[in-house]
Structure 1
Amino acid sequence: MKEFQKKFSESEYTRKSSVAVIYAILAAIALNMFWQPGNIYASGVTGIAQIVTTLIGKMTGQVPPVALIYYVLNVPLFILAWKRISKKFTVFTMITVTLATIAIQFIPVTMLTPDPIMCAIFGGAINGFAIGFALKNGISSGGLDIVAITIRQITGRNVGLINTFINGMIAFTAGYLFGWEYAFYSLISIFVTGKVTDLIYTKQQKMQVMIITNKPDAVIEEVQERLRRGITILHDAEGAYKHDKKTILFTVITRFEMHTLEEAMEAADPSAFVSIADNVKILGNFYDPGMQ
């Protein structure tokens, strides 16, 4: 058993490390091939790092590397993640941020298009995919993702929505300091980033499931074996057509777990009636395996 757990741990480490590498490359491409050439301020800590480097350059005449400022700004957020989310989550986040820092430093700034709107859209889409892909695989891209996840644990709001609000303040600051056209293009990119993040990262999208079945014990066993979810049981329901006795089961899953639920129902009771309500709001504790 211990050997199996060790192998699983090594497998998880390899998978998440691979995801971190992919995120780092995509994030660097978004910054160095779209945002910086288009004079667009990025979302999250990357955008704050751009603002800080610009201010330092204006004051001293020497512009420090964006990658260095990006990493320094992430350090206090590592501490927040360590205390509020989980230690394992924080370790993988540190790996991700370190790899992103290296990629940003070594991938050259290259102008692929002079059109700032195209830079905003493509940079936002690439970055949003990178963030969503990272979160979907249980790691964070660092920065304001940590703040957004912490807020989501308290309020239940979507990660993309929280990031859009925070990043809107970044764009406003950039516009106030350096010109409103920069804020306009940055807002476009931030909006695209938030939408693509929510499209890819579906773990925060809750779905209420109602199962009407003649085999409640089999369904409960199968669902709880595959998904760590609580189930509420209503006995002695009656079908209107045949007046036969049925049991109603209620649970809440994430959209990410939908396929697993379908497999569980196929194994336990293929003839059960399953009704699903999309995007429900949850008050109270809801287990999130990605944050362990």
Structure 2
Amino acid sequence: MDLNRITSFKSFRQKMGEMWKSIDFSRESVQDYLYVLAGALVQAFAMRLFLIPAQLVSGGISGAAQLINHYTNWPIGLMVFIGNVPLFILGWQHLGGPRFALRTALSIVAFSFFTDFLGLFLPAEGVVHDLVLNCLYGGVVLGVGLGLVYRGKGTSGGSDILGRILNERVGISISQAYLATDSAVILSAGFVFAWENALYALVVTYVSGLTAEMVLEGSNVFRTAMIITNRPKEVAERILYDMERGVTILEGRGGYTGAEREVLYCVVTRSEVSQIKSIVKAVDPNAFMVIGQAHEALGEGFRPLQ
């Protein structure tokens, strides 16, 4: 028995040593940790100012903790931490060990601590009493926090871990896994609080998801232009020098005629769409042009590639 304990202790020390060695203290990694901490703090503000006072659950472990708190008055942050322990262990085993652990552990511990700590200072009744306002602002602020955690390459624990495990081991898509876990908690909230609150909680989940995506990927929506013209060099030169935008020349072939021709491809901002249309029309009124939408543009002329 003692030998087993010694072996287990050595194994634990070895794993902790591996995790410590895997910690990257580069500037980029430190920035990621700060993102995770800031995201956890913002999420805790969303919980204490909007969601908890209005009895709106956000799904996952934090939502389940709100339901338990309603009957037991146990600290929500502490229950979030306890509920994440078994999921964290599963994540360690199935999602990459030390590389997975650090940012996720930081997110869980920080969010649990901030949730209970802020409860000591912020008003228990929140800042507004209107359910719609709590729903919308709670969803937006929660989404900002989630987006910051994701930008720090972390996860918020709970259903994030479970969703990734189900995706890798069972083949269920992450969105379906989130829907199943969050829906179960929100459905329970309908019985515990009120069905009106549960329906608004669905809106919270939707709004927070949109906001998190916006924070993670940016709010800019760019346009892609694909131009088929008999005068590709003239059009490309006008775009290069008049708009100062890069142009890529692709080799294309007509599906009906079989003729070889050059296809122009470029990325512009929304405000530049009318300008590029004017250039193409002025150079070749018979050109064919397709305007598409891109959610993000990285590289020269846009945001740095990171």
**TM-score, normalising length: structure 2:** 0.60
The answer to whether residue 30 in structure 2 is matched with residue 14 in structure 1 is: yes
Structure-2 residue corresponding to 1:34: 50
Question: In the aligned structure 1, how far is the partner of 2:76 from the partner of 2:106?
Answer: 18
Match of residue 80 from structure 1: 90
What's the counterpart of residue 271 of structure 1?
none
Contact 2:166 2:174 in 1 (8 A): no
Structure 2 CA distance for partners of 1:256 and 1:191, relative to 1, 3 Å:
closer
Change beyond 3 A, Cα 1:256–1:185: closer
Asked if 1:100 is matched to 2:115, the reply is no
Matched, 1:187 2:202: yes
In structure 2, C-alpha distance between the alignment counterparts of 1:7 and 1:189, rounded to whole Å:
35
Q: CA deviation at 1:35?
A: 0.8
Equivalent-residue separation in structure 2 for 1:41 and 1:51 (angstroms): 8
Counterpart amino acid of 1:170?
Answer: V
Q: Which residue of 1 aligns with 2:63?
A: 47
Per the alignment, residue 288 of structure 2 pairs with none
1:113 aligns with 2:152: no
- Give 3-state SS (helix, strand or coil) of 1:259's partner: coil
Q: Cα deviation per residue 1:50-99 (whole Å; 9 max; x = unaligned)?
A: 112223x2xxxxx1111110100011111122122222122111011111
Q: Are the structure 2 counterparts of residues 190 and 142 from structure 1 closer, same or farther at C-alpha, using a change threshold of 3 Å?
A: same
The answer to whether the 8 A contact 1:164-1:190 is kept is no
Percent identical residues = 21
Shift of 1:29: 0.6
* Residue 259 (structure 1) aligns with: 298
Tell whether the 8 Å contact from 1:38 to 1:116 is kept in structure 2 after alignment: yes
Q: Distance in 2 between matches of 1:39 and 1:129?
A: 20
In the comparison of the two structures, how many residue pairs are matched? 219
What are structure 1's unaligned runs of at least 5 residues?
A: 1-5, 58-62, 204-210, 212-235, 247-254, 264-288
CA contact (8 A) 1:24 1:100 kept: yes
Residue 74 of structure 2 is matched in structure 1 by 64
TM-score (norm 1): 0.62
* One-letter amino acid matched to 2:141: I
Separation in 2, partners of 1:244, 1:180: 61
